[in-house]
Amino acid sequence: MATLYTNGQIALPAQLCQRLGIHDGDALDVSEEAGGILLRPLAAAPLPKYEARIITDPITGLPVITLGPDAPVLTSEQVAEMLKDFP
């Protein structure tokens, strides 16, 4: 079930979004089909490829995964958001 709000926004179930791999801000194609509304995720630009390696963190001495110097840096908040629905 989805909810339509007065400003025309639609709230989709989190589990559905997770299964389809869609996230906040993703573009969706909207069309009318057979008397209903059809939403399709638009193809996103391909993500850059990074080579993952396990290294020793120089501060903690613990093994960590690195994707190289050009990889984006994640904040603690971003990691927490990604893991919030993890079983």
Looking at residue 58, its pLDDT comes to 93
Task: Break the chain into its structural domains and give their ranges.
Answer: 3-41, 53-83
| CB neighbour class for 22 (10 Å; exposed up to 12, middle 13-18, buried from 19) | middle
Looking at residue 29, its pLDDT comes to 92
Torsion angle in degrees (nearest 10) through CA of 69, 75, 80, 86: -20
Residue type present at position 31? S
Calculate what percentage of the chain has a pLDDT beyond 90. Answer: 31
pTM for the whole structure: 0.44
- Annotation: CATH topology of 3-41: Pemi-like Protein 1; Chain: D (2.10.260)
Give the mean pLDDT of 67-86.
87
Q: At residue 44, does pLDDT exceed 80?
A: no
